[in-house]
């Protein structure tokens, strides 16, 4: 199976320059740094102990920020290497991380020769893969070099588990290579045990311990002046078709409410132009976040076309619709808006976070919706109410998050201090 995997990767890498060029054209790659994915490394490794984190994209990167903040204060660690896959994660890195101790690189293709070159260059003392990042060549070569390897905030969905189950021996050899798997839920813990992983700790979802919310005061003052007179609801991490669904809901809300505005934060910012085209057909007045034109009071849709600013808008919203849930995508993580005290609405497809949604549903914080009328009915109640957001839930979630963060930090610290 490993031979077949390596053959497939070699074929992909043969066409990689063409693939990357197409992605650059589509603005999905950084034109100046795409060669890092071909393991062309320019930056030098600093002297001393280096810890390497790999997080796929924005969500995983944001989840480990509290851990990075704690680890960079440990004297034994001289530098932290952070690799990600996406251009959106690079932009968030540049905006959120100011420490000179943390170095960013794009994750190279998992080609055997690339992984050996990468490890020989950076010589990590500890490697931490985040959530679902399973790359066989890297994992086996890390194990061969006897470098401690952690799977942090591990997440395996039922769909992913069934795929791995088709190649059980290969799956067991991969997952057993981790020195410890820190699972984010019971489902993942069960699947890891089925793959023969012996050292597993279910310490909870690290995303409950996200950094403190960005202040809404960081928004433009003129925009805030208009927002303060509005009844605001937010649709975030939306995918194709979900923006139209929310826009139609908004049209229905306008029949009953004055001064209502919808903030849309799409999952993929590069879709903003096509979103505008779709919404213009509905005669809705749209304002782009990056636009320099005047923000009119009669704006219907405020479309956020930037990365890493979602929390600012959660701070001024009372109700949030989580995308990736009306389509069969598996849903998006509701923890971030929940920590601020927002009410959560989602479609029927939330398998990726069913344990989190189940917890929130038990406190009547999240609700499943299937139709426009269904969502309209809940939002009318929310936006008409004078009650503030759920402070009790916010306090409970934050306390839980700090406990999770502390326990995970202590587990990682064992490997750094003792290196075993």
Mean pLDDT of 312-317: 88
pLDDT at 420: 44
36-211+401-418: which CATH topology? Answer: Rossmann fold (3.40.50)
pLDDT band at 96 (very low <50, low <70, confident <90, very high): confident
Distance CA 299, CA 264 (A): 13
% of the chain surpassing 70 pLDDT: 95
Our CA angle for 386, 387, 388, nearest 5°, is 115
pLDDT in tens, 98-119: 899 999 999 999 999 999 999 9
Distance CA 231, CA 362 (A): 27
Domain spanning 216-394: CATH superfamily: Glycogen Phosphorylase B; (3.40.50.2000)
Mean pLDDT of 66-88: 94
Distance CA 215, CA 316 (A): 9
C-beta separation of 340 from 311 below 8 A: yes
Q: Is pLDDT above 80 for 165? A: yes
pLDDT in tens, 212-229: 554 555 677 777 888 888
pLDDT band at 333 (very low <50, low <70, confident <90, very high): confident
Q: Is pLDDT above 70 for 388? A: no
Q: Is pLDDT above 90 for 239? A: yes
pLDDT band at 202 (very low <50, low <70, confident <90, very high): very high
pLDDT band at 81 (very low <50, low <70, confident <90, very high): very high
Mean pLDDT of 272-284: 94
Mean pLDDT of 312-331: 91
Domain residue spans of the chain: 36-211+401-418, 216-394
pLDDT in tens, 32-50: 999 999 999 999 999 999 9
Q: Which residues of 36-75 are buried (b: 16+ CB within 10 A; e: fewer)?
A: bbbbeeeeebeeebbbbbbbbbbbbbbbbbbbbebbbebe
Residue 98 token pair: 């100011």
- Per the prediction, the chain carries an average pLDDT of 91
CATH topology identical between 36-211+401-418 and 216-394 = yes
Mean pLDDT of 325-341: 88
pLDDT in tens, 9-31: 999 999 999 999 999 998 889 99
- What does the DSSP 8-state code read for residue 258? S
Distance CA 37, CA 110 (A): 9
Distance CA 294, CA 291 (A): 8
Q: Is pLDDT above 80 for 269? A: yes
What stretches of 228-271 show up as alpha helix (H) in DSSP? 242-254
């Amino acid at each position: 199976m490993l031979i077949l995997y390596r053959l497939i990767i070699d074929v992909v890498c043969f066409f990689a320059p063409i693939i990357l060029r197409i992605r650059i054209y589509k603005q999905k790659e950084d034109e100046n740094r795409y060669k890092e994915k071909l393991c062309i490394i320019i930056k030098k490794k600093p002297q001393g102990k280096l810890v390497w984190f790999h997080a796929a994209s924005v969500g995983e990167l944001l989840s480990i920020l509290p851990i990075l903040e704690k680890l960079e204060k440990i004297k034994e660690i001289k530098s932290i290497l952070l690799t990600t896959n996406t251009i959106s994660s690079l932009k968030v890195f540049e905006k959120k991380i100011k420490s000179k101790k943390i170095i960013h690189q794009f994750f190279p293709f998992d080609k055997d020769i690339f992984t050996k070159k990468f490890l020989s260059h950076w010589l990590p003392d500890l490697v931490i893969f985040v959530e679902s990042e399973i790359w066989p060549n890297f994992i086996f070569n890390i194990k061969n070099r006897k470098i401690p390897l952690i799977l942090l905030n591990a997440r395996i969905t039922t769909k992913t588990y069934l795929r791995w189950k088709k190649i059980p021996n290969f799956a067991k050899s991969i997952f057993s290579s981790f020195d410890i798997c820190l699972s984010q839920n019971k489902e993942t813990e069960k699947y890891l045990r089925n793959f023969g992983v012996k050292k597993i700790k279910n310490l909870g979802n690290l995303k409950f311990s996200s950094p403190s919310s960005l202040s809404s005061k960081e928004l433009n003052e003129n925009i805030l002046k208009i927002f303060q007179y509005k009844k605001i609801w937010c649709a975030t991490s939306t995918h194709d078709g979900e923006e139209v669904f929310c826009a139609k809901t908004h049209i229905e809300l306008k029949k009953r409410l004055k001064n209502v505005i919808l903030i849309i934060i799409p999952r993929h910012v590069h879709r903003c132009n096509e979103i505008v085209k779709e919404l213009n057909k509905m005669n809705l007045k749209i304002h782009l976040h990056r636009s320099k034109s005047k923000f009119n009071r009669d704006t219907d849709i405020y479309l956020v076309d930037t990365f890493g600013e979602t929390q600012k808008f959660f701070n001024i919203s009372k109700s949030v619709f989580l995308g990736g849930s009306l389509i069969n995508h598996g849903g998006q993580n509701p923890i971030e808006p929940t920590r601020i005290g927002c009410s959560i609405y989602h479609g029927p497809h939330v398998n990726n976070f069913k344990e989190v949604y189940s917890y929130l549903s038990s406190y009547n914080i999240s609700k499943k919706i299937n139709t426009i009328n269904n969502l309209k009915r809940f939002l009318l109640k929310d936006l008409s109410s004078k009650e503030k957001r759920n402070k009790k839930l916010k306090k409970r979630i934050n306390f839980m998050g700090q406990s999770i963060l502390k326990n995970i930090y202590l587990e990682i610290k064992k490997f750094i201090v003792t290196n075993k």
